[in-house]
A and B are shown apart, each in its own frame.
Chain A
């Protein structure tokens, strides 16, 4: 059951990205271009998403189990460390260069554009590089 609901959630998530315009890199860059002609649409994507997600996430915070009986796995870290800030700044630079973040990258991977395939390969390489650096740090 959990597998089915996971896939269903992924499908809905992807359709939301496509409908919202987040899956169009040119539109994302139009949002990030404050000094040009600014397209504020993506701010409304966040507003719409948070408005709907806030109640279920608040409910989840008070629970130890999901409705299907799975353990509730919410992030527990609290500290604002340099990794969080540095990582987010790096991510923003990459986002600003191409206008693609991880969700839309997956959601348009099968849309037939070579650009997104190249982007996803580089993104996965970046993630594997992170894992490799973490393993070295742990030694």
Chain B
């Protein structure tokens, strides 16, 4: 997508070319802090882990605490509408066609359920409570995410 040099400004760190044009440190940190705040509130007040794949899975399967879990997901679902009252929605750009989306969705659904979590449950909540399982899971999905993009963009892609 991006042209080498034009977006990197030529600066590299450890051999990795940083995309300074798209780097948004402040909104990333502030957005992350809000995510952490929400996860903190959910565990302190409701006694639950804000892991989205786990919440989706248990709402699908039924069982304990279904209403509360569904309401967290409803809040998540309504967030862009709340956002839209105050500001324009940020950019949402997709780079895959229908087949990629279907395959990706299936893998994400299946993988997060087998792996007991995703970016939120393992990556944020799990690492925050220093869980070795979550650390291993996060390293695992990050590594395969990096590898997948490398294969699709640099081995097969143009």
A126:B83 contact, CB within 8 angstroms:
no
- The interface on chain A, measured as residues whose beta carbon lies within 8 A of the other chain's beta carbons, has a size of 116
Residue of A nearest to B42 (CB): A9
What residues of chain B lie closer than 8 Å to A70, measured between beta carbons?
Answer: 45-48
B154:A35 contact, CB within 8 angstroms:
yes
A106:B77 contact, CB within 8 angstroms:
yes
A102 to B103, CA, bound (A): 14
A42 to B106, CA, bound (A): 23
Interface residue tally on B, bucketed by range: 35 or more
Interface string of A21-36 (1 = CB under 8 A from B): 1111111011011111
Closest 10 CB pairs of A and B: A126-B109, A14-B79, A10-B75, A20-B31, A48-B32, A122-B105, A96-B148, A87-B115, A87-B114, A52-B36
A sample of 17 more A-B contacts (CB under 8 A), given A8-B75, A49-B39, A54-B129, is A9-B46, A13-B35, A20-B27, A26-B95, A33-B149, A37-B19, A48-B36, A83-B115, A84-B116, A84-B136, A87-B137, A90-B115, A95-B148, A97-B100, A103-B118, A115-B94, A126-B107
A residues lining the B interface (CB < 8 Å): 2-3, 5-27, 29-30, 32-61, 65-68, 70-75, 77-80, 83-103, 105-111, 113, 115-116, 118-131
B residues lining the A interface (CB < 8 Å): 1-2, 4, 7-8, 16-19, 21-25, 27-50, 52-53, 56-57, 60-61, 65, 67-69, 71-83, 89-96, 98, 100-116, 118-120, 122-129, 131-133, 136-138, 140-150, 152-154
